[in-house]
Amino acid sequence: MIEGALWRRWVFYNIPLILFVFVLLFPFYWMIITTFRPDGELYRPWNAVNYMPFWTNDPTLEHILYLFEETNFMRWMFNTMFIALVSTVISLFCGVLAGYALARLNFPYAGGLGTAIFVTYLVPQTLLFIPLAEIIRNFQLGDTPWSLILTYPTFLIPFCTWLMMGYFKAIPKELEECARIDGASRWKAMVYIVIPVAVPGILSSGIIAFTLSWNEFIYALVFLSSPDQKTVPVGVTSELIRGDVFFWGPLMAGALLGSIPVAIVYSFFVEHYVSGLTGSVKG
């Protein structure tokens, strides 16, 4: 890279980068500071003399306590975790097998099936939520975690399959052929030789699938109705707003605590997440 004088580097690189980071992270700072701000300070108009936006002198835990004592927040966390984990496992199972078949086996209509899965990858949830709600009701799944566990794979499987196809294609055919010459069956070669090599791909798809299911909103909003069945995004939206009244303190506390599981998973697997993300847009 050709670098210029010091001031140039600041003007063209460092200052813009600092601004980007500031704007991208500020809402999270705002979430945190609101969580710990007492109500008296929270509802002080922006043009009041003592409006003190960026700091608080008497932090409080009242909003977090409200969340645990007055709402089903722990239950929502548990629901979201359970749904996200189970649908991720189902999607990985289906996606790895389908990705293997589409990337490494010769069979009739392979190309057509690959295209079909790619097309479902691009179907947004908002296209089908109304008929799907009817179907869920007819299957007697309404208001149960299974309504989401079974429908989340519809957007996770195509994604996992697509990503895994990329990983499987990169593994040399010879690896499998060696195992088969040594007497392993096709099934064994797949399970013991090829899939272990693709573990980084499985991790990447798994992490992204987990964050996607934690993020999903419209299906959870439409399919679930009782307060103790809800997921975090839906519970926070429906139980902490009464009519026109927003409980901003608990709302921000809920948003903060509800983000933590995703943030933890993400922080452990940043590299896998990034490689999955960039892999997902490779044609």
Partner 1 sequence: MAVTALATAEGKRPSRLRRLEDERWLALALLTPTAVLLGLFIAYPFFEGVMLSLSSTRVGEPGHFVGLKNFHKIWNDSIFHTTMWNTFWYTGVTTVFKLALGLWLALLLNRHFRGKAIIRAFILLPFIIPTVLSTFAWKWMFDPTFSVINWTLFQLGLITARINWLGDPDLAMTSIIVINVWRGVPFFAITLLAGLQTISPELHEAAAIDGARPWSRFWHVTWPLLMPVTLVVVLFSVIQTFADFQLVYVMTGGGPANATHLFATYAYQLGIGTGLLAEGAAISLAMFPFLFIIVVVQLLYIRRVETR
Contacting residue, 110, 175, 191, 264, with partner 1 by CB under 8 A:
110
Give the C-alpha separation, 161 to 97, whole Å. 8
Q: Is residue 97 a contact residue for partner 1 (CB under 8 A)? A: yes
Contacting residue, 21, 61, 65, 264, with partner 1 by CB under 8 A:
21
Q: Which is nearer to partner 1, 75 or 104 (CB)?
A: 104
Contacting residue, 85, 133, 197, 203, with partner 1 by CB under 8 A:
133
Q: Is residue 273 a contact residue for partner 1 (CB under 8 A)? A: yes
**Token pair in block for residue 190:** 């797949």
Q: Which is nearer to partner 1, 24 or 58 (CB)?
A: 24
Contacting residue, 10, 53, 178, 191, with partner 1 by CB under 8 A:
53
Contacting residue, 71, 79, 88, 151, with partner 1 by CB under 8 A:
151
**Token pair in block for residue 249:** 């303190």
CB contact at 8 A, 98 and 162 = no
Site for partner 1 in 60-89 (CB under 8 A): none
Give the C-alpha separation, 217 to 235, whole Å. 10
Contacting residue, 25, 61, 191, 264, with partner 1 by CB under 8 A:
25
C-alpha closest to that of 37 among 274, 258, 249: 249
Residue 195 neighbours by CB under 8 Å, 6+ apart: 96, 100, 202
Contacting residue, 11, 61, 135, 264, with partner 1 by CB under 8 A:
135
Please state the closest distance from residue 234 (CB atom) to partner 1, in A: 8
Alpha-carbon distance values, 133 to 126, 129, 154, 221, 222 (Å): 11, 6, 14, 10, 7
Q: Which is nearer to partner 1, 68 or 154 (CB)?
A: 154
CB contact at 8 A, 96 and 160 = yes
Contacting residue, 98, 164, 194, 224, with partner 1 by CB under 8 A:
98
Q: Is residue 172 a contact residue for partner 1 (CB under 8 A)? A: no
Give the C-alpha separation, 254 to 67, whole Å. 7
CB contact at 8 A, 208 and 273 = yes
Residue 205 neighbours by CB under 8 Å, 6+ apart: 91, 92, 95, 159, 160, 163, 164, 276
Site for partner 1 in 111-130 (CB under 8 A): 113, 115, 117-120, 122-130
Site for partner 1 in 199-258 (CB under 8 A): 211, 214-215, 217-218, 221-222, 232-233, 236-237, 246, 248, 251-252, 254-255, 258
Q: Is residue 166 a contact residue for partner 1 (CB under 8 A)? A: no
